[in-house]
Amino acid sequence: MTNPSEHVQTFLEQRKAMMAQAEGQAPPDLATMRAGSDAAAPPVPDDVTVTEVDAGGIPADWVLAPGADPDRRLLYLHGGGYVIMSRITHRRLASDISRASGCSVLVLDYRLAPEHQFPAQNDDALAAFRWIQANGPSGAGPAASTFIAGDSAGGGLTLSTTIAARDEGVPLPNAAVTLSAWTDVSHAQQSRTTRAATDPIFTNPGSLEGFSTHYVGADNREHPLASPIFADLHGLPPILMQVADAEVLLDDTLNFAKRAQDAGVRTTVTVEPHGFHIYHYFLPEAPETLAAIGEIGGFLRAHG
């Protein structure tokens, strides 16, 4: 087995030092976390075009790398536990996916909890998916193909949006992609415990529970559109699911994928042995990320 890249090793060392420095300090409030995540967003490459747009009443960005096809459209749903992060934080990741796939990528600023609880985020995502079917970066016009992708909470939202589209008779995306998807907000997956000591991102055992409380409150934890791992998965389009071995959300992907495969859904799973939760976001230049983005690009090109 190969060793982790220098990028990964350096990140883990820096993360460990940062957590040691923060030990005993009160966590920042949501406003501070949101502002900090936007300020720390990875820079967008100079050759990528970012255009702010009103996506049917929801703020969003069209992100286009050179050569992106305006009629091959991907809705990207950012992570952040449904409470932080934004279209600003994920412009770089959207840029990389656009470059690899040749798709025009719409990064959505769906409403955040706790100001807006479930199903506000789901409603926004489905409305935006309907919107890209009829609107592209060049203006109104039908899409030649559509996709949905997202990371962490946005990965769960990717799956629930695809499920909702199926249930409401909306034309399905050609395919869907998830990165470190959070598919179970009830926390029934064993990797919450088995990977607790190895996950460098979720080092506070209560952080995911806090996100769940903000998102759905005490109820709806097993609602199929809040926790898509509990949904009927028949009839979904092909799905690529990427996850890292070290993360507490590992089983959210593995067990969802098993249920999807059992339901007849063509589901591909890639487990990065040296990665961590959405390493794609934190380390855009790492070899592990470049390989993962290349896989996403190839998968999307193969499906439309």
280 is catalytic: no
Q: Which of 90, 191, 247, 274 is catalytic?
A: 247
Q: Which helix (H) or strand (E) holds 203?
A: none
Q: Which of 5, 152, 160, 180 is catalytic?
A: 152
Q: Three-state SS for 53? A: strand
Measuring CA to CA, which residue among 53, 216, 29 is closest to residue 121?
216
Q: How far apart are CA 124 and CA 130, in angstroms?
A: 10
256: left (phi over 0), alpha (psi -120 to 50) or beta: alpha
277 is catalytic: yes
277: left (phi over 0), alpha (psi -120 to 50) or beta: beta
Measuring CA to CA, which residue among 122, 124, 113 is closest to residue 216?
113
Q: Which of 277, 280, 288, 303 is catalytic?
A: 277
Helix axes 6-22, 287-302, angle to 10 degrees: 110
DSSP string, 104-161: EEEEE----TTTS-TTHHHHHHHHHHHHHHHEETTEE---SEEEEEEETHHHHHHHHH
6 is catalytic: no
Q: How far apart are CA 37 and CA 194, in angstroms?
A: 28
In whole angstroms, how far apart are CA 180 and each of 75, 91, 191? 17, 18, 13
Please give the positions annotated as active site.
Answer: 152, 247, 277
